[in-house]
Structure 1
Amino acid sequence: MSPDPDSGVVTVFAPTGIGEITAGTDLVDVVLRAATADPLGPLRSGDVVVVTSKVISKADGLVRLADQRDEAITEQTAATVARRGPTRIVRTRSGLTVAAAGVDNSNVAPGTVLVLPPDPDASAAALHAELTRRSGLDLGVVVSDTAGRAWREGQTDHAIGAAGLRVLERYAGRQDAYGNDLQVTAMAVADEIAGAADLAKAKLAGRPVAVVRGLGHLVEPTGRPDGRAADLIRPLALDLFRLGAREAVLAAVLGATGQADRYEELVALDEADRVRAVVEGAGVGADAAAVLTAVLEQA
């Protein structure tokens, strides 16, 4: 039986005893053993298992040499959202908007970096299938990663992959305690689960897996609506912040001057070279060139 969603009690624990994960490690065996050995273990039906993307990447052998970091970021990038010098905020090929395409050098061997799983939802689904098969339990799985927020300092974990879990709790059509009709409210529960799990895992404790207990009403069979982390990604047509302020100006100028296909090429240049390249590519007269220069430099 699923726990009562109105009980107000959620338990989070991060098992110890998970050693270094390497290519080919049986993550399911590692998770089951660690959870069973924990005082709050073993796993129960309705639990949500949260696994950091790093252990997925390590088990899948997604390791690169540190001097290949820039190349790896470029390979993982579908579009540049914002760039300031070497710092890049990009949309990855899987649709995530993250710094450096999620290529990371923390909690990895010196001289190496990790890239994100190419399809985090597929990684979550594979882990979920084996965990439920071997345990015989109804479980949810979240693959988490760390990200910043556009309007706030600091970072928090969010869900980049999910399986066996409703990732959005939609309230549209319901009424609040005052009788007001709710129209657009939807809680990103998978992200909240990832953030809660991160509090238990901590960054330096060597606990890359956490179990969130008490949210069994969100655990559902795979294939149900709102059952993938990709369902949390806002469609580009509805994304009001798909580009940084400077990059939005650049894209607009390039579109107006017939150079839209040069965006990725030019956004990588420093400001002086970028302005010069845009103006030269526009092929306009001196007055128009001065206007374009002013617009780009003031962005």
Structure 2
Amino acid sequence: MSGRAHRIEVWAPDGVAEVTAGDDLVALVLAATGGGSDLADGDVVCLTSKVVSKAEGRVRRGDRDEAIEEETVRVVARRGATRIVRNRLGLTMAAAGVDASNVEVGSVVLLPLDPDASARDLRAGLLERAGVNVAVVVTDTSGRAWREGQTDLAVGAAGLVVAEDHAGRTDPYGNPLAVTLPAVADEIAGAAELAQGKLAARPLAIVRGRADLVLPAGEHGPGATSLVRAEGADFFGYGAREAVVRALAGDAGDRAPFGSPATPAELRSSLGAVVGTVTGEPGAAGLALPADADRTAVAAVLFAHGWRLDAWEPGVVDAGSGVVCRVSPVTT
């Protein structure tokens, strides 16, 4: 084996007992790891959000749809009974992360109230009781846009560099890396799930081999919350159908997911794709549109691009009749 080879180990202990409200998660991890003797400084302890939620009393009886409604901030997309929503943690997930599996019939499990805080508490407890400086990741399963299937990701983290910023570095060929940002917390969560399995009752996994990502004791880092894009920063704030409806409805409360105002050039290009030739500049002169331009369609395009329609006036365009459209960017 080459001296440059790098190995990562992942294992998931068997025999973790069923967790109920009030259970001590530190004791659970220690019991599954030989009293902590199987742990070493620099390990990453991964625990499923479901186990954390059960211990924190986030299991409730009742209707799953009602729980989804309570956990939802806004609906991103809906296809039949399936709802993709942005939940109160800022995560975009199916059913707001509410789960009815591996729990008594008639009950549902909600995500932890603050998964990063849960991870911090577990990390501090393991340091206090076992003397090991480990990172902690709270994991949950989520689908991905453009891809079939699901994978686990980090919804909570403590003591971990959750993303490695490679911006400003160069690759072995000398090419600059401008936006490379591996979400290592999510990669660790996915590796843990491979060892845990979905039906094997192994909610705990240990990842060893990336001690360089583990922060010194007492430094918890930004947590998994830092991986959540702010409202409006995601290119896909609504599903395809929902974006059309929201833009046509033009409710000011729906603006944020569309992001910051587009540049004038981008706005002209998008308007041109809908109404035909567009000339002029936003401002005093206004944009010149064809006479048959549909005002409703123009207003929807403006809304989706972060601009508003201020005036709609007949005018002369290319020596013929047309419309002068006066617009302004929306600022918050």
- The residue that corresponds to 1:57 in the other structure is 53
- The residue that corresponds to 2:141 in the other structure is 146
Deviation at residue 175 of structure 1 after TM alignment: 1.0
For residue 42 of structure 2, give the secondary structure of its aligned residue in structure 1.
coil
Q: Which of the pair is proportionally richer in strand? A: 2
- The residue that corresponds to 1:84 in the other structure is 79
Deviations 1:128-147 (A, max 9, x none): 11112111111000000000
Indicate how the Cα distance of structure 1 residues 290 and 235 shifts in structure 2: closer, same or farther if over 3 A, else same.
closer
Q: Alignment length, in residue pairs?
A: 257
1:218 is the counterpart of 2:213: yes
The one of 90, 94, 98 equivalent to 1:103 is 98
Contact 1:254 1:260 in 2 (8 A): no
1:123 is the counterpart of 2:118: yes
**Comparing 122-131 with 88-97, which one deviates more in the overlay?**
122-131
Contact 1:139 1:219 in 2 (8 A): yes
- The residue that corresponds to 2:24 in the other structure is 26
Contact 1:158 1:191 in 2 (8 A): yes
Contact 2:64 2:100 in 1 (8 A): no
Letter in 2 for 1:33: A
Please report the RMSD computed on the Cα atoms of aligned residues, expressed in angstroms.
2.3
Structure 2 distance, partners of 1:7, 1:121, is 33
- The residue that corresponds to 1:15 in the other structure is 13
Structure 2 distance, partners of 1:252, 1:60, is 40
**Greater relative contact order (Cα < 8 A, sep 6+):** 1
Contact 1:81 1:244 in 2 (8 A): yes
TM-score normalised by structure 1 residue count: 0.81
In terms of Rg, which structure is larger?
2
- The residue that corresponds to 1:251 in the other structure is 246
Q: Which of the pair is proportionally richer in helix? A: 1
For residue 88 of structure 1, give the secondary structure of its aligned residue in structure 2.
strand
- The residue that corresponds to 1:242 in the other structure is 237
- The residue that corresponds to 2:165 in the other structure is 170
Structure 2 distance, partners of 1:87, 1:114, is 18
Deviation at residue 118 of structure 1 after TM alignment: 1.7
1:75 is the counterpart of 2:76: no
Structure 2 distance, partners of 1:79, 1:127, is 31
Structure 1 distance, partners of 2:233, 2:76, is 15
Identity percentage of aligned residues = 57
- The residue that corresponds to 1:48 in the other structure is 44
Structure 2 distance, partners of 1:134, 1:78, is 38
**Comparing 99-108 with 83-92, which one deviates more in the overlay?**
83-92
Deviations 1:103-133 (A, max 9, x none): 1011112221100012111111111111121
Q: Which runs of 5+ in 2 are unaligned?
A: 256-293, 302-332
- The residue that corresponds to 1:182 in the other structure is 177
For residue 169 of structure 1, give the secondary structure of its aligned residue in structure 2.
coil
Structure 1 outlier segments of 4+, above 3 Å: 221-225, 259-263, 288-292
Letter in 2 for 1:28: V
Structure 1 distance, partners of 2:35, 2:132, is 17
The one of 84, 88, 108 equivalent to 1:113 is 108
